[in-house]
A and B are shown apart, each in its own frame.
Chain A
Amino acid sequence: MAGTEYGMSFDIAAVRRQFPILSEIIDGRPVHYLDNGASAQTPLAVIDAVRHYETTSRANVLRGVHRLAERATEAYENARAEVAKFLGVQPLEVIFTGGCTAAINLVAYSYGSLLKAGDRILLSELEHHSNIVPWQLLRARSGVEIDMIPVTEDGRIDLTKLPRLVTSRTKLISLAHVSNVTGALLDIRAVVAAAKSVGAKVMLDGAQRAPHGPLDLPSLGIDFYAFAGHKAYGPNGIGVLWGKPELLDAMPPFMGGGSMIGRVTFAETTWAPSPRRFEAGTPAIGPAIGLGAACSWMQALDWTAAHDHEMALVQRLMDGLQKVDGTRLFGPASLQNRYPVVSFTLDGVHPHDVAQTLDSFGVAVRAGHHCAQPLMDRFDLDGTTRVSMAPYNDNTDIDALLAGVAHAARTLR
């Protein structure tokens, strides 16, 4: 994956230079941004692409014949093509949504409307609320039932439980590709095999995987994939749903409005084909263009090197935390089949107090339940402190964090 457009292979200093916010000084301290799982930072390439659209091509899409409208439409569709390339799929299979949550809701609503009372949806205990609640809403509407795959002690989805949970009534399995709490990577092959054995569809919530490099979705054997732009170095207010075309074509719209129709009369309206069927109204044009730029930025990075770098940071972090008395790592102990999201607790200190102390060291992390309350309940945790990394993080970020955790351990208990 040699870089073409931004021409770079992995070089941490060069990567950092592309993120203006990383040179910000707050209260005399550099920014140690380790909350990438909540929202990543954005590179100049994205900022420039959005600015370029806003200053040279701003207009609505699909509707005008004037030249600005043509530029806007072209830029919007080019962004779709960039996203498609990043996912290894065809552009017309990519639907722009308001975010990852919106993409999951789209499937729960539109694909869900094809399901009947008694059909079963299979989720896991570690899902983000946005991959739980839409299915509960569907359950309330249509009487589908929800099953839950438990997690193992080390915070992975326990696939040994699959045979018991996947039945002929299971219609859809929807799971996090990577956990936003433990960083565990899903064994997709096992899930797809179990799903295929009963004809169920598979959806992956890729919110925490997409920010770590290009995908080849067709090779995974899945049916739907969702992710959020803002976690993948793109703007807010944009996300993506990919779906197999034959499934998308069979699904009714989620929202009605402009752009998603074939022909409207008061007697009857016909739907446009996907993706327009699912993009009612004026889309988030600038953010979509920004996400396209984020995807090409990611495409240009050497992810083999970047992943090694991220995992070296995980190792440094885990080694350092283990030296602080009373820290407990929550999640996989090894670096295999995981991504750079690390949760921990510090005995006798609440995660919010850890995070607040870290803030005074210039370190941004997330603390709390991470929108995964069922997982917290399973382990009887108030919450965890979560460190989530990106390729632009370096040893100074980890060391600042470790100093802050040691300080919290010394002063707050």
Chain B
Amino acid sequence: MNDQLYQDRIVALAKAKTGAGKLDAPTKSARRDNPLCGDRVTMDIKLDGQGRITEIAHQVRGCLLCQASASALSAVAVGRDAAGVADIRHDAERALGRESGDPREPFTAFAPVAAHKSRQECVLLPFEALKDALS
């Protein structure tokens, strides 16, 4: 077996479903679709007066990579504003080998996706949805 992509950490992140679900009264919400594969992510957030995330929830209709990414993102998003979320996106980009430098946790888990270009958008889709929700 040469099953490089689905390593335990990615599967664990997806199964953890951190932040999976909906918020009752989100300050903002945004949905993003990937027309090529049909993946869909909805992000609900609550913000404080400074535009920082106080609560986050996501619904993913998509593959394991997209679920794992939404879970990882939700685990580290609370307390961050738009700039802070843009900053952690660099960690995902680094893990995918699209930017140089070492990614911070938990995004090192996505390093196996660097070799699978066609699946990288799956990892980035939750970031796109959260960016829309924050804008």
Contacts of A29 in B (CB 8 A): 2
Interface pair A412/B38, CB less than 8 Å apart: no
Question: Which of B16-42 touch A at CB < 8 Å?
Answer: 37-38
- A351 to B1: give the CA distance in the assembly, Å: 20
Q: Are A353 and B63 in touch, CB under 8 angstroms?
A: yes
| Alpha-carbon gap, A28 to B63, bound state (A) | 27
| CB of B135 closer than 8 Å to a CB of A | no
B84–chain A nearest beta-carbon distance, Å: 29
Q: How far in angstroms is the closest Cβ of chain A from B22?
A: 18
The yes or no answer to A356 lying at the interface (CB within 8 A) is yes
Q: Which residues on the A side are within 8 Å of B116 (C-beta)? A: 356
Given A360-B2, A360-B3, A407-B3: A369 in contact with B38 (beta carbons within 8 A): yes
**Given the complex, which residues of B lie within 8 Å of A407, measured CB to CB?**
1, 3
A357 beta carbon closer than 8 Å to chain B: yes
Q: Which residues of A have CB within 8 Å of B122?
A: 352
In the bound complex, residues from chain B placing their C-beta under 8 Å from that of A413 are 15
Q: Which residues of B contact A383 (CB under 8 A)?
A: 37-38
Chain B residues closer than 8 Å to A356, beta-carbon distance: 5-6, 116, 119
Q: What separation, in Å, do the CA atoms of A28 and B15 have in the docked complex?
A: 31
Q: Judging by beta carbons under 8 Å apart, are B3 and A376 in contact?
A: no
* Contact of A357 with B6 in the complex, beta carbons under 8 Å: yes
Residue contact B64 to A360, C-beta cutoff 8 Å: no
- 8 Å CB contacts to A: which residues of B91-135? 116, 119, 122
| Contacts of A355-383 to chain B: CB distance below 8 A | 356-357, 360-361, 368-369, 373, 376, 382-383
Residue-wise, chain A 386-413 has the 8 Å CB interface mask toward B (1 for contact) of 0000000000000000000001000111
Pick from A351, A360, A412: contact of B11, CB below 8 A: A412
Q: Tell me the count of chain A residues lying within 8 A, CB to CB, of chain B.
A: 22
Complex CA distance for A159 and B107, rounded to whole angstroms: 52
List of A residues within 8 angstroms of B6 by Cβ: 353, 356-357, 411-412
- In the complex, chain A residues whose CB is within 8 Å of the CB of B5: 356, 360
Chain B nearest Cβ from A38, distance in angstroms: 14
Given the complex, which residues of A lie within 8 Å of B63, measured CB to CB?
A: 350-353
Q: Which of these, A27, A350, A352, A369, contacts B2 with CB under 8 Å?
A: A27
Residues of chain B with a CB closer than 8 A to A369's CB:
38
Q: Is the CB of B37 within 8 A of A411?
A: no
Asked if A350 and B11 sit within 8 Å, CB to CB, the answer is: no
B4 interface residue, CB < 8 Å from A? yes
- CB <8 Å contact, B62 and A350: yes
Q: Which of A325-365 contact B (CB under 8 A)?
A: 349-353, 356-357, 360-361
B62 neighbours in A (Cβ, 8 Å)? 350, 352, 382
Residues of A within 8 A of B2 (CB): 27-29, 360
